[in-house]
């Protein structure tokens, strides 16, 4: 069975608008963002009848409610954004000049966040949670049909696609804007046989 899976980043939050590192902060969308997301919905870009899975964070649940009104939301725990630790809800201007921030910059963004998650820990958490979700789909614990939408976070999508995306790209090559994402094909028979691939069909850029 082939599943058309949409990986969608949540809409813009006040923190996103200010360039802040928004991880564990559970803030909602910007006041006008629901209108922008509604315009995306009206364009028919995303499938209205898809099964909807969401990160537990408010910004993801609100986004899903606008893009997929009336659809039940299945909470996918473990797919939350990275814990940015001491950098949480700060932006470049507030962090510039700090030794720990400069160390992180010098690492090319691959070093751990002080007081938060390392890149390896974050990607490991996300990929394990995604594999659990797919297992639930295959075993029927999560009824998915042929179309499914996962509304989550930019970092989450990057981690998933870096691990399973086809073609292969590194983590930072999978960055995506708010409200945008990727349409991929997940073949459940191949996945069950150990071929864990998400075959890219298109990128949604709106």
Tens digit of pLDDT for each residue in 30-75? 999 999 999 999 999 999 889 999 999 999 999 999 999 999 999 9
For 178, the token pair is: 């708010």
Dihedral angle, C-alpha 29, 75, 19, 25, nearest 10 °: 90
Residues 9 and 154: beta-carbon distance below 8 Å: yes
In the chain, helix, strand, coil percent, each to 5?
40, 20, 45
Average pLDDT value over all residues in the chain: 95
Going by pLDDT thresholds of 50, 70 and 90, the confidence category of residue 127 is very high
Going by pLDDT thresholds of 50, 70 and 90, the confidence category of residue 205 is confident
Is the pLDDT at 144 greater than 80, yes or no? no
| Distance of alpha carbon 143 from alpha carbon 137, whole angstroms | 6
Going by pLDDT thresholds of 50, 70 and 90, the confidence category of residue 161 is very high
Residues 77 and 156: beta-carbon distance below 8 Å: no
Which pTM value belongs to this model?
Answer: 0.96
Of 114 and 142, more confident? 114
Residues 197 and 166: beta-carbon distance below 8 Å: yes
């Amino acid at each position: 069975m082939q599943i058309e899976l949409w990986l969608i980043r949540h809409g813009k939050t006040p923190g996103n608008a200010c360039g802040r590192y928004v991880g564990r902060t559970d803030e909602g969308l910007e006041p006008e963002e629901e209108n922008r997301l509604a315009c995306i919905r009206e364009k028919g870009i995303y499938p209205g009848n898809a099964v909807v899975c969401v990160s537990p964070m408010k910004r993801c649940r609100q986004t899903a409610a606008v893009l997929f009104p009336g659809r039940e939301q299945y909470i996918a725990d473990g797919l939350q954004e990275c814990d940015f630790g001491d950098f949480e809800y700060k932006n470049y201007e507030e962090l510039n000049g700090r030794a720990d921030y400069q160390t992180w910059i010098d690492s090319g963004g691959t070093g751990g966040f002080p007081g938060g998650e390392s890149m390896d820990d974050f990607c490991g958490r996300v990929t394990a949670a995604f594999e659990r979700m797919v297992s639930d789909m295959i075993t029927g614990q999560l009824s998915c049909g042929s179309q499914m939408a996962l509304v989550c976070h930019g970092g989450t999508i990057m981690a998933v696609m870096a691990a399973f995306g086809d073609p292969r790209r590194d983590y930072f090559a999978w960055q995506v804007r708010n409200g945008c994402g990727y349409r991929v094909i997940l073949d459940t028979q191949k996945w069950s046989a150990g071929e864990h691939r998400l075959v890219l069909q298109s990128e949604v850029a709106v």
